[in-house]
């Protein structure tokens, strides 16, 4: 059975690129373009991994990490990989409080690197 990835990203171009590459690599990809949609899909679909952008319209990725802490309490922790353009130390420190598995800067990582990281974390 294909591993399910929740991709939380509002850039439609990146959504298409990431979801196509992940699907070609054998994953099922659920897409959320807002935090509210991500919370709904997380609750309904139980992904094996979350790829999370931090800059989103309205509520941001930090809000989702707070929500996830409550939603995932007492359950198997779903790994979260940050995929963002925010690379400042202050942002990384804010994320560190949430047990994020990886923090990737979009401009510094290839599509293959992302897929390989997803494969590694969903074994």
For 10-22, how does the pLDDT look when each residue is reduced to its tens digit (9 = 90+)?
A: 999 999 999 999 9
What order do you get walking across the sheet with 102-105 strand by strand? Answer: 28-32, 4-8, 49-52, 80-84, 102-105
Q: Is 57 left (phi over 0), alpha (psi -120 to 50) or beta?
A: beta
pLDDT above 90 covers a percentage of the chain that reads: 66
- Domain extents for the chain? 36-49+61-85
Residue 64 to residues 24, 26, 98, 110, 119, Cα–Cα distance (Å): 27, 26, 10, 25, 23
Scanning the structure block, which residue is given the tokens 């007492």?
Answer: 74
Q: What is the pLDDT of residue 73?
A: 61
8-22, 44-58, 65-79, 89-103: least confidently modelled range: 65-79
Mean pLDDT over residues 77-85, rounded? 91
pLDDT tens-digit readout, 92-113? 888 888 888 999 999 999 999 9
Q: What is the pLDDT of residue 89?
A: 83
What is residue 77's DSSP assignment? P
Asked if pLDDT for residue 5 goes beyond 80, the answer is yes
């Amino acid at each position: 059975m294909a591993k399910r990835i929740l991709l939380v990203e509002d850039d439609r171009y990146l959504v298409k690129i990431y979801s196509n590459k992940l699907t070609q690599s054998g994953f099922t990809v659920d897409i959320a373009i807002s935090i509210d949609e991500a919370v709904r899909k997380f609750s309904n679909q139980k992904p094996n991994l979350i790829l999370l952008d931090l800059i989103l319209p309205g509520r941001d990725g930090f809000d989702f990490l707070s929500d996830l802490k409550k939603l995932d309490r007492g359950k198997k922790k779903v790994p979260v990989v940050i995929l963002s353009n925010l690379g400042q130390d202050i942002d990384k420190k804010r994320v560190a409080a949430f047990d994020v598995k990886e923090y990737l800067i979009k401009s510094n990582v290839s599509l293959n690197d992302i897929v390989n990281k997803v494969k590694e974390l969903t074994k």
